[in-house]
Structure 1
Amino acid sequence: MQGPGIFIGCAGWSLPRDVQSAFAPDSSHLQRYASRFNGVEINSSFHRPHSRATYERWAEAVPPAFRFSVKLPRTITHDLRLLAADALLDDFFGQIDGLGQRLGCLLVQLPPSLEFQPAPAGGFFAALRQRHAGPVALEPRHASWFTPAVDAWLAQHRVARVLADPVRHEGGRLPGGWPDRIYLRLHGSPRMYYSSYEPQTLQALAKRIALAAAEGREVWCIFDNTAGNAAAQNGLDLRLALDQQLG
């Protein structure tokens, strides 16, 4: 059981051997993953493009309620730093349109050196919104993004600010931006990408997610502690804790 509007999953659908028995023995890794999780974050799109046919194949492999979050390419966010990205945005949307109704969210991760500046950021999100009316989550990493004024600015653009763990800046201890969507990226703590989360942490997280869902918010919780093979087990444990919260 999992409440509507709650998407729990991992960054990628690779399943470590020690948890594979918890998943259905389907024909592909993605189908096995989707037998227990209802959401996934595609990070490979950050590093390289995928064809529209590839996205179509992925969409066809999952149940109707399953959703993909897709990370924007680093050529847009890190190389161009959000400037003059129209052509690359067109290419990107031409690819991910293959997901159809299975596209759940776009993830925009910024480099740590990219400060908030209203003009270039506004131009970028205007261009993005011309092509995409659906959910967008932003993971900024420069301190200038973590202020009440910027949260209000993001809310005007209907962009949720990611709560990422470990927290880099005091203002990032809570999600921000568009209030109707919460996007959590759990990278592992204290050792990023490796550390597993303790049961008490997952129990507390389940309570927060259940409360947010009860308030009508859409919640994404993505485990990115994949280097130490902890993500899938943490995701399964969170699902169990959340089921207990939701009754």
Structure 2
Amino acid sequence: RSQSRVLLRTLRRLRIPTLLFVNKIDRRGAREDDVLRAVARRLTPAVVPMGRTRHLGTPRARFVPGLAPTAAETLADHDDDLLTAYVEDRLHPARVRAALADQTRRALVHPVYFGSAITGAGVDALIGGIRDLLPAADGDPDAPVSATVFKVDRGEAGEKVAYARVFSGTLRVRDRLPYGEPRAEGRITALGVFDHGTDVRADAVPAGRIARLWGLAGIRIGDTLGVPRPAPGHVFAPPTLESVVV
């Protein structure tokens, strides 16, 4: 779709590491090789298939992890030493995996996974890729607090629950923080953090984590908690015919 092309083009321009997940392999008519060719043709040729599907288009569809034979060729486009080792037939699998992790983190290539969100097929492989191939979140937990709200839900009692990425500092229960624009001030009454796929209550959430916050009644998506971060400016290109035609 046109929005996919615009989005991936923006991610590549900003050098944001990106994994691709092709969903619904359990649906009738699901395709693998055709989709990979379409991704390479319409989105980017710098894709690395991370395995193969089995029983495609059936409820038994699954994803079997394993680097495609073409992975070394794709990675060698960005690494002269790897290209030399590939041509001389002395390329070790560990060297290929290391190059894959390095180039993924630099947004030079994009690993592609197949699966089904409904059945869970391929999800474990995707989670492993997030863990092994994407850069770890960092930030100074002792610096002034700076976090950005990217989602707001309602709790069981109808109260606002904010989801925020903590870029620096440490959020703590009972902290009073400025937030929003115009700036207001609120007190955090409870915190939650995601741990092994489960949301658990916490007394503090350090930099590099995703926090759930209670107590900030006026919070909105896009609000900054604590020290405002520099505005990123325009990251999307102006609309083109490609991005507006439906």
Same fold (TM over 0.5): no
TM-score (norm 1): 0.29
* Higher helix fraction (1 or 2): 1
Over alpha carbons, which structure has the higher Rg? 2
* Higher strand fraction (1 or 2): 2
